[in-house]
Amino acid sequence: MEFSTNLLIFSGLALLMMAAAFAAVTTSRIMRAVTYLLFVLFGTAGLYFMLHYTFLGAVQIIVYAGGIVVLFIFAALLIGKGTIDVTHTSNRRYLAGLLASLSGMALALYLINSTDFFADKFSTVGVPMKSVGLALMGTAKHNYVLTFEVLSILLLACMVGAIMIARKK
């Protein structure tokens, strides 16, 4: 019973994501593409919540939906109406896009088929917040303090760069 409800929710999310992703690449208006992308990101967050990865789901929403998509929209707003919408695409680019997405699909299918899935190790209670925090800041094996620090340096560099570009002489 539980399984079929899960399947129902999963198919709903998967259909939403596929439809939104398809719409995002086929629409010619940049703002609509960004909005459809937003729904793909919501669907991904929904999948994380379904798997009880609540932290990852919330990060997905706050970083992608609340951050990246807002950035995209701001960029589109600043560039202006009509200048960035796709008006004409050559057939060669269509072909290249099709080829790229087909090879991506082949890779994904290969990975799904060649991986053993551990349904029995699947957690239904979710990871406690404390272990996420400790893993993020820990120095032991399979902990992420180095990645965390490197990412913070990257972000710092970005911020310094932004200030350098924006400041008055």
Residues that bind other proteins (CB under 8 A): 1-2, 4-5, 29, 31-32, 35, 38, 54-55, 58-59, 61-62, 65-67, 69-70, 73-74, 76-77, 126, 128-129
Least distance CB 58 / other proteins (angstroms): 4
Which residue, 66 or 104, is less far from other proteins as judged by CB? 66
Which residue, 56 or 143, is less far from other proteins as judged by CB? 56
Which residue, 77 or 108, is less far from other proteins as judged by CB? 77
Short-list 37, 34, 53, CA closest to 45: 53
Least distance CB 140 / other proteins (angstroms): 22
Reported residue count of the chain is 169
Asked if 44 and 68 count as a contact pair (C-beta separation under 8 A), the reply is: no
Least distance CB 62 / other proteins (angstroms): 4
Give the C-alpha separation, 109 to 103, whole Å.
10
Write the CA distances from 166 to 129, 151, 154, integer angstroms: 38, 22, 18
Short-list 7, 23, 69, CA closest to 42: 69
Torsion of CA 157, 162, 168, 169, to 10 degrees: 40
Which residue, 81 or 93, is less far from other proteins as judged by CB? 81
Least distance CB 129 / other proteins (angstroms): 5
